[in-house]
């Protein structure tokens, strides 16, 4: 099986910001074609979603990111300056705040994605230096 590559075109993102447009910035390249989109869903051999690349210029993350990757699978983080260690991130499925351990509300509006990232408040997010909440 040949490799498929997902390219995030930063020039499209910058042009969209400059001109108020929402053109797709993702290019999915395989041996046959280039496809363009706002979301690229990565599936396993059985057709199950394992991750997705999201370009959301109208609803960026609270940190300001317009493009990101989401997965519910274990993510191995490799820092070339350190030894790799696999970590499991229950992304968006936290039950308690990562700082004060308070129980996080379920089904509540979360426009700043604080609960989604495991924080009960902007104060707790700032303690962990999360996004725009750094003090």
On whether residue 96 sits in a domain, the answer given is no
The pLDDT of residue 48: 92
On whether residue 94 sits in a domain, the answer given is no
Domain count, the chain: 1
Q: Tens of pLDDT along 101-114?
A: 888 777 666 666 66
On whether residue 123 sits in a domain, the answer given is no
On whether residue 52 sits in a domain, the answer given is yes
Residue 92 above 60 pLDDT? no
Q: Tens of pLDDT along 41-72?
A: 999 999 999 999 999 999 998 888 999 999 98
Q: Kindly give, in sequence order, each residue whose CB lies less than 8 Å from that of residue 28, ignoring residues fewer than 6 positions away.
A: 4, 5, 6, 7, 34, 35, 36, 37, 40
Q: Which domain holds residue 1?
A: 1-71
On whether residue 88 sits in a domain, the answer given is no
- DSSP, collapsed to helix, strand or coil, labels residue 81 as coil
Q: How far is CA 59 from CA 49, 56, 68, 113, in A?
A: 22, 5, 12, 11
On whether residue 127 sits in a domain, the answer given is no
pLDDT bracket for residue 124 (50, 70, 90): confident
On whether residue 50 sits in a domain, the answer given is yes
The pLDDT of residue 108: 65
On whether residue 62 sits in a domain, the answer given is yes
């Amino acid at each position: 099986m040949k490799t498929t590559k997902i390219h995030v075109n930063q020039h499209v993102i910058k042009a969209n910001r400059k001109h108020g447009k929402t053109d797709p910035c993702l290019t999915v390249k395989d041996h046959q074609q280039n496809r363009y989109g706002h979301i690229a869903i990565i599936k396993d051999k059985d057709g199950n979603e394992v991750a997705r690349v999201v370009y959301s210029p109208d609803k960026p993350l609270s940190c300001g990111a317009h493009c990101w990757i989401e997965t519910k699978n274990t993510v191995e983080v490799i820092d070339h300056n350190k030894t790799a260690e696999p970590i499991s991130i229950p992304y968006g499925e936290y039950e308690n705040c990562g700082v004060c351990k308070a129980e996080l509300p379920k089904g509540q509006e979360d426009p700043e994605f604080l609960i989604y990232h495991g924080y009960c408040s902007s104060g707790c997010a700032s303690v962990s230096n999360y996004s725009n909440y750094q003090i």
